[in-house]
């Protein structure tokens, strides 16, 4: 789930806890290659598609504009499902799109999208997706939650073990889980190699406090919310010494 959305739901009384990160970075803002948008300041008066206003993609635009002396009111924000974004950019129905991968890379790979910024350029160690578990499950079945968190940690460490691991993952995950073209996921995982990262996934309070601060300034949270109210870092803290899976891949 998107991190600010999880925080918002908890604030509204939904009994959930963030227990781990899905990845870091993995977000870009794409503009049409033929557009005159070359800098963040050039976004003034433009239309930008985001997954929803409770996304960190929305907050990173808020942050990027503010750093250039602009306001979120200087652009038009529209909410759009990420799979629909490439077609919207191709047809120039919007001026810019931003979401998690692989939809941003799709526009670049197909030749009509151009990267205006990668998340890491604006917000180092950017967080988008988080693993959310019902609070009653964390209390009643902590061993199950820990196995799930450990699995993500070990998978991430394996994935960061080399480009051959990333390419093998792209081949298998694309066909068996996501129904995506393998060449698209290969592009996402290699151009550049740190476009999406799968290490450093433990919960850090300072990261979420930064999200909360921006969310309050952007008006998407009703008020302050304590880290321990929406997050349970006890599971992620146990992954510090997690070892990568020994799986060697398919060799294909």
Name which of 185, 37, 163, 26 is nearest 100 in CA terms. 26
Q: Does a structural domain hold residue 92?
A: yes
The burial of 238, by beta-carbon neighbours within 10 Å (0-12 exposed, 13-18 middle, 19 or more buried), is given as middle
Quote the CA–CA distance of 57 and 49 in Å, as a whole number. 10
SS3 236: helix
* CA distances, 188 to each of 115, 163, 181, 182, 205 (Å): 13, 12, 11, 10, 28
Mean pLDDT of the chain: 94
Return the pLDDT at 250. 59
In a domain, 101, yes or no: yes
- The answer as to whether 171 is a domain residue is no
- Who's near 207: CB < 8 A, 6+ residues apart? 125, 127
* Mean pLDDT within 204-209: 96
Q: What is the CATH number of the domain that holds 59?
A: 3.40.190.10
| Domain with 43 in it | 25-122
pLDDT in tens, 126-138: 998 999 999 999 9
Task: Examine residue 52 and state whether it is found in any structural domain, yes or no.
Answer: yes
Is 34 among the domain residues?
A: yes
Whether 57 is in a domain gets the answer yes
* C-alpha separations of 129 from 5, 196, 244 in Å: 10, 12, 21
How many separate domains does the chain show? 1
Name the strand (E) or helix (H) holding 150: helix 142-159
- Does residue 158 lie in a domain region? no
- Is the pLDDT at 108 greater than 90? The verdict is yes
Radius of gyration of the chain (CA): 18
- The reply to whether 70 falls in a domain is yes
What is the value of pTM for the model shown?
0.91
Please say whether the beta carbons of 159 and 245 come within 8 A.
no
CA end-to-end distance (rounded Å), the chain: 32
Per-residue pLDDT tens digits for 24-79: 999 999 999 999 999 999 999 999 999 999 999 999 999 999 999 999 999 999 99
Beta bridge partners of 55: none
């Amino acid at each position: 789930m998107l991190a600010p959305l999880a925080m918002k739901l908890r604030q509204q009384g939904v009994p959930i806890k963030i227990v781990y990160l899905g990845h870091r970075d993995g977000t870009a803002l794409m503009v049409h290659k033929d557009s005159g948008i070359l800098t963040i300041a050039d976004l003034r008066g433009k239309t930008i598609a985001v997954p929803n206003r409770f996304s960190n993609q929305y907050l990173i635009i808020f942050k990027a504009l503010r750093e250039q002396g602009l306001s979120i009111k200087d652009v038009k924000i529209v909410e759009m499902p990420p799979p629909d974004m490439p077609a919207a950019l191709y047809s120039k129905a919007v001026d810019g799109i931003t979401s998690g991968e692989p939809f941003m890379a799709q526009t670049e790979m197909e030749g009509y999208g151009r990267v205006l910024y990668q998340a890491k350029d604006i917000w180092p160690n950017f967080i988008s997706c988080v693993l959310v578990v019902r609070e009653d499950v964390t209390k009643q079945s902590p061993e199950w939650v820990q196995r799930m968190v450990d699995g993500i940690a070990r998978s991430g460490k394996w994935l960061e073990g080399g480009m051959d691991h990333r390419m093998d993952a792209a081949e298998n995950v694309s066909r068996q889980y996501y129904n995506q073209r393998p060449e698209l996921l290969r592009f996402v995982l290699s151009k550049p190699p740190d476009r999406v990262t799968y290490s450093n996934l433990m919960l850090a309070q300072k990261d979420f406090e930064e999200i909360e601060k921006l969310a309050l300034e952007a008006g998407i949270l009703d008020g302050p919310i304590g880290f321990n109210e929406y997050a349970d870092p006890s599971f992620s803290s146990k992954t510090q010494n997690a070892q990568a899976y020994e799986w060697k891949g398919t060799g294909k």
